[in-house]
A and B are shown apart, each in its own frame.
Chain A
């Protein structure tokens, strides 16, 4: 066994001697054998693997400094959880299945490391590459591995770079330095040796940044709105930019709706759709009326097609919570309800997929894409007289729209009393959502700190109205499901009673939400909060 040129550190003393950043990824032109000879390591046999990186779609592992690599090949099947900073191995699983969701995680390192990170999101492939890899083991005089060099020649994958431009993979090898626990000093010395004596070039990017697929970028949640508007921008350009950004979010999520690894793909798709509708609703006088007359009903129709599916997703996500809320119900009494919900969701899912796969939907997308792209320079459509505000600066338009939505919300909220029907609160919730979306869409025009304060109070009100409305729908649907179950011969009475008890829990919760409404609304409508919004709109000033 070869001896590393670097003298091994005194392992238990493992303290670092050299402060400052150390590279753990390098570009090499030397072969694995030559590199091994240079560092006094021992090169193993090269082998081919198909590598897939798994993460949640919103990069929860990456944001925790973790990367999950799954290598599949004739000589190796492994899943390795590493640190993104230094590729340090947290654990390796040889062979075996790779779980998808938090509830699938087996006990042990999977559950310990990932259960708290995944939440309701599933692990999906976020990057892939074909690799010929050779391990170079650097050992001390006792034959103890003190670091491993992973020499990897990377080939391209057919789906790599999809959705955005990427540089072609470089025809050289990547070398990753994997430190062993307790040998940090050795790893630092080896990193320096690789650069100074073995001719390797440090690489700052993590391999996954090259290998990301589906147009993803590590750390950037494709479901999150990243919208930057410049003050003075033409209002029509700003709105088209908003709609295009939201369309991109829908486009990022739509390919995942069929396999539905988790429920958040549909959720994020719907939020982008709802925000798009909100933009269109506020676009009168800015975008051509003809376009609004076409796209407002079209997007509403698309949203309606997803409603039942999402309601069922929420029901099923919260199912364990229902059981906990009625501890007096026997084990298994709610299972007929769960099975019914699953059956309904399968039906809704099939119906939605059938529509999304239809020529009608494809044609709609193509036309909508064309509408969004006809925006600049000579492509700009000639005004038909319905757009007097199209050239106004976006900040002036935004302030007017936000003030109007805010006034409407204050007026409608003040009119709600103890005797107001549930529909009035539902309408108020929709008005609140519109204001929220406006604040989010135009948010980049305003001071971020002030905006945060305004949104916080609005969110508290929205949470209250959301709880009220959700309880209303849940209770109502549970009564419908109970009727459906009653018509099924083999559902025991205990299960019907259990459903009724759960429905009662929602009725009670709805009453609590109703009681809390006045307090929440008073806080939102406070003079301080109204002034805060007014000051924000008056000052503008971009992100603070």
Chain B
């Protein structure tokens, strides 16, 4: 089993779209996939047409009174289950803070899923918090969407500094891989083209080859409430997510 988190400190950069579409690609390829929507806003849960509610809320999960397997529900995509978001996840930081071994709790919740799922995809809320630290303890792959702009590049630098231990609050030992991909790319903009060329040079091996274009079809997911592949499979955006998934599967062929 591999655990992948779509993560960014910034909001609105395409984390949820990536989580939903990559999970759907993995499920279509025949893997058993679980998405855990960790964002109290519940966008992934909404896209999967599911009610944003977990019995007992985050407290039941953190206290391990309820397992993720109990909380998982099927989605309309074959092989793909979801642990829905719950508005009470907004208290997750506080609940973790009050729990012994707080940063290991998420990893301990996820570990028993290995007998049932091949890929677990965490859709994280945009922040750097105790939940983030818990996610970093649990993941094998941290997938970071980046809009090609100067500020976003700076964000990547900050993130790398944090996860590589340069920051005193960051993880002591990084046990996961970071993969950055460009999101919401507008090929007509010169700045986007420049950043697309610059970041891979600055961080060799960090940036995925596939990049997701700025496309209205991605926004249309909110109307269709489904992964792009199920309603617009031949579009550039759908192909970009499929290509990104192929890259990930190529690097981790045996989860």
Contact = CB atoms under 8 A, between A and B. Distances in A.
23 contacts: A10-B55, A11-B51, A12-B51, A13-B55, A90-B32, A92-B30, A92-B78, A107-B118, A108-B30, A108-B118, A108-B254, A109-B31, A109-B32, A112-B118, A142-B49, A142-B225, A144-B49, A144-B75, A180-B73, A180-B74, A181-B73, A182-B72, A183-B74
B81 interface: yes
For the complex of A and B, 10 pairs with smallest distance between CB atoms: A182-B73, A180-B74, A144-B49, A181-B74, A107-B254, A93-B30, A142-B49, A11-B73, A92-B78, A13-B55
B152 interface: no
A183 to B, nearest CB: 7
Interface residues of B, number: 27
Nearest to A113: B32
B250 interface: no
B89 to A, nearest CB: 13
Interface in B59-89: 71-76, 78-79, 81, 84
A327 interface: no
B255 A91 contact: no
Given A94-B28, A107-B254, A107-B255, A12 B73 contact: yes
A223 to B, nearest CB: 30
A182 B225 CA distance: 19
B253 interface: yes
Nearest to B48: A144
Contact of B30 (A11, A109, A182, A183): A109
A12 B69 CA distance: 10
A96 B78 CA distance: 16
A144 B111 CA distance: 28
A181 B48 CA distance: 14
Given A91-B30, A108-B255, 19 more contacts: A10-B53, A11-B50, A11-B53, A12-B54, A12-B55, A93-B30, A94-B28, A96-B30, A107-B254, A108-B254, A109-B32, A112-B115, A142-B50, A142-B225, A144-B50, A180-B74, A181-B73, A182-B73, A183-B73
A292 interface: no
Interface of B: 28, 30-32, 48-51, 53-55, 71-76, 78-79, 81, 84, 115, 118, 225, 253-255
A33 interface: no
Nearest to A142: B49
Contact of B84 (A11, A91, A94, A96): A11
A169 interface: no
Given A109-B30, A181-B74, A91 B50 contact: no
B58 to A, nearest CB: 12
B79 A92 contact: yes
Q: For the side of the interface on A, what is the size category? A: 20 to 34
Given A12-B84, A109-B118, A91 B79 contact: yes
Contacts of B118: 107-109, 112
Contact of A143 (B31, B73, B225, B255): B225
B254 A10 contact: no
A134 B143 CA distance: 39
Interface in A83-108: 89-94, 96, 107-108
Given A107-B254, A145-B74, A10 B30 contact: no
B60 to A, nearest CB: 10
Interface of A: 10-14, 89-94, 96, 107-109, 112, 142-145, 180-183
Given A112-B115, A181-B72, A89 B50 contact: no
A103 B59 CA distance: 43
A143 B55 contact: no
Contacts of B225: 142-143
Contact of A12 (B30, B71, B253): B71
Nearest to B31: A108
B202 to A, nearest CB: 34
Contacts of B53: 10-12
Nearest to A144: B49
Contact of B32 (A14, A91, A143): A91
A352 B31 CA distance: 42
A13 B115 CA distance: 22
A107 B49 CA distance: 30
Nearest to B26: A108
A145 B30 contact: no
B51 A181 contact: no
Nearest to B77: A145
Contacts of A109: 30-32, 79, 118
Nearest to A90: B32
Nearest to A109: B32
Contact of B76 (A89, A91, A144, A183): A144
Most A CB contacts (10 A, CB to CB) among B48, B49, B53 go to B49
Contacts of A92: 30, 78-79
B137 to A, nearest CB: 24
Given A11-B51, A11-B84, A145 B73 contact: no
B31 to A, nearest CB: 5
A107 B253 contact: yes
A191 B114 CA distance: 32
Nearest to B30: A93
A143 B226 CA distance: 10
A465 B20 CA distance: 60
A24 to B, nearest CB: 16
Contacts of A93: 30
A180 B48 CA distance: 14
Contact of B78 (A10, A89, A142, A183): A89
Contacts of B79: 91-92, 109
Of A93, A108, A143, A144, the most chain B CB neighbours within 10 A belong to A108
A469 to B, nearest CB: 40
A142 B30 contact: no
A10 B53 CA distance: 9
B73 A10 contact: no
B71 to A, nearest CB: 6
Nearest to B51: A11
A143 B254 contact: no
A285 B115 CA distance: 59
Q: Which of B30, B71, B79, B255 is the most central at the interface, judged by chain A CB atoms within 10 Å of its CB?
A: B30
Nearest to B116: A112
Contacts of A96: 30
Contacts of A94: 28, 30, 78
A91 to B, nearest CB: 5
A145 B49 CA distance: 9
Contact of A14 (B28, B31, B49, B73): B73
Contacts of A89: 78
Contacts of A108: 30-32, 118, 254-255
Contacts of A11: 50-51, 53, 73, 84
Q: Which of B54, B78, B84, B115 has the most CB of A within 10 A?
A: B78
